Every structure is written in C-alpha cells, then in structure tokens.
Amino acid sequence: MDSDRNPYSPPTAALGLGPKPAQPEEAFPPDGDLAQALVGAIRLNAGAAVREGWARSRGRKRGVNIAFFLFSWIYGASMIVVTALTFALAGLNFTDLFDPMLTTQITAELTSNGAYLAAASLLTAPVNALLYLSVWNVGLRLASGQEVRFADTLPARAMGSAVLVMLCLAPLGMLPILHPTAGYLSLPVWMLTMWSLPLLLDRDIGVGEALRTSFHLTRHNILAILGLGVALLVGYFAAVITCGIGLVWFLPVATGTLGSAWRQLAGLGRLAPE
C-alpha cells in the first residue's frame, strides 16, 4: 500500500509554519476607531481594559516607577510654589502651615474663603494639567507596547492646550463653593477631563473640539467609565494600605489600564505599536 494513501500513516503537513496562537494576556481587543466610538458603535469594556493594563505593564514596571519617581520631585516642587503663592494671596505666611497650633485655624479660614479657593483652583490648574498629561502619556506608550522613559512624563507638546482645558473646567469645580449640592458636578467634570487630555496627546485637535469629543465619548460609555473609576479607586486603596508598597504595581497597571481603555475606543493616532 502506498504510504501517501495510508490512513494510519503520520500526517505530513508542516504543523509549525502557521502563526503561534496568542497567549491569554496577548489576546487584546482590536484597536478602536474614534469616529465609531463617537456614535456609540464601539463601547468601552472596563474589564478588558484592566486585564490589558495588567498585561501591558508586565516587564515595564521598573521603567514606569523610575519615571514617576523622578517626576514626583518636579510635581512636588511645583505644588510647594503654588501653595506658597495662594497663601500669599490670602495674606498668610506659608510657614504657619507647619505650626501644629495654627494648622486647624488656618485650614478653617481657608476653606471658608471663596477668593482663596478660587485662586487656588486657577493656580493649580497648570500643575494638575502636567500631572494628568504625564499619566495619560505613559499610559498611551504602554498601550502601544513601547518602553517608558522619564521624558515621557513631560509631554510638552500638549501642555498649553491641557492648561486651557483645566482652566475651562476650573470654574465648574468651584461651584460647590456657592452651593453644597453643586458638588455632584465634580463627577462629570472629572469625566470630561479624563477623555479630553488623551485627545490632545493623540490627536491634532483644539481645546473646544477635545471637550466636545470627550462629552460624546463619556455619554456613550458612562457606566463603563464609572466601573473603570471604581476599579482603579479600589486598587489605589489596596496599594495604600500596604504602606505604599503596592504602588509599585498599581502605578504601572493603572496607567496601562487608562492607555488600553483609550486604545479600545479610539485606537492610537500618534503612537504606532512597535
């Protein structure tokens, strides 16, 4: 009998020529499309974003943590300068804050001083813009499979637009000063900020267009965004109760999760996967 026709002969196909099956951590959702996401055709999957963020940060945690450690010195110094300026505007001495006998009194005076709170919100807007841009830029690099460097925590190209976004939203954040129930507006303000900043980093659009696009993305994915926020908040508290040791894992995973969420919705415009 011809061995080629023998049904019991071993197979002769080249079994090793095809592509290797994806590992579970590599089976990421496909890239999204911003136009489709704006009409609700593509929705955010918070669980998939967290799983992808965990996988994307694997092997890159050291680089992310070093970058954020160096960045924290710049951010901390900036906050000290801003705090000193706001104290000066309120007619207070910054060193009084370190006096235990005066801390409670000063805190009570400042929280009831609307002018001080307004000035503080406006002065901290640039510093907060730098922080949020840093987190998003690192997340986008992780989502695109690229290494993270310290320079990635200082995305200067979008800084001016991000400051304008923060200044536009700062008045909304001050509404609770006028009435306590207005504090509920802090959630939609946070969501608008959340999605407008990656638009500035990943797309060449203006501030107004970024806010409008962010509104539509939020409207179609409100529950998924809330779920993602809760998951990150739980992870943050879990990291903190370990005396901060858990932050070594939380920071890379959280930033990778945000970048992965954006990739799911809109794809990656500037950053092509390596």
Is 180 inside a domain boundary? yes
Q: Please, what is the Cα angle at 112 between 95 and 120, to 5 degrees?
A: 60
pTM attached to this predicted model:
0.79
> 149: exposed, middle or buried (C-beta count within 10 Å: 0-12, 13-18, 19+)?
middle
Spatial distance between the Cα atoms of 268 and 137, rounded to a whole number of angstroms: 12
What phi and psi values does residue 155 have, to the nearest 5 degrees?
-75, 85
pLDDT of residue 77: 94
Residue 165 pLDDT: 85
Specify the residue for token string 């503080």.
Answer: 120
Query: What distance lies between CA 155 and its chain's CA centroid?
Result: 13
Q: Is residue 16 included in any domain, yes or no?
A: no
> Is residue 19 situated within a structural domain?
no
Residue 15 covered by a domain: no
Position 204 scores a pLDDT of: 76
134 belongs to a structural domain = yes
**Chunked in runs of 10, what are the mean pLDDT values of the chain (274 residues)?**
48 41 58 87 91 93 94 93 79 67 63 68 85 93 91 88 82 62 66 82 86 88 89 91 87 94 83 42
Among candidate residues 258, 271, 244, 202, the one with its CA nearest the CA of residue 69: 244
Q: Does residue 39 sit within a domain?
A: yes
Name every residue whose Cβ is closer than 8 Å to that of residue 28 and which is 6 or more positions away in sequence: 48, 52, 55, 260
Q: How many domains does the chain have?
A: 1
In angstroms, the CA 19 to CA 26 distance is: 13
Q: Please tell me what DSSP assigns to residue 158.
A: G
Structural domain span for residue 87: 30-266
- Look at residue 161 and tell me if it is in a domain: yes
Give CA–CA dist 180/45, Å, rounded.
33
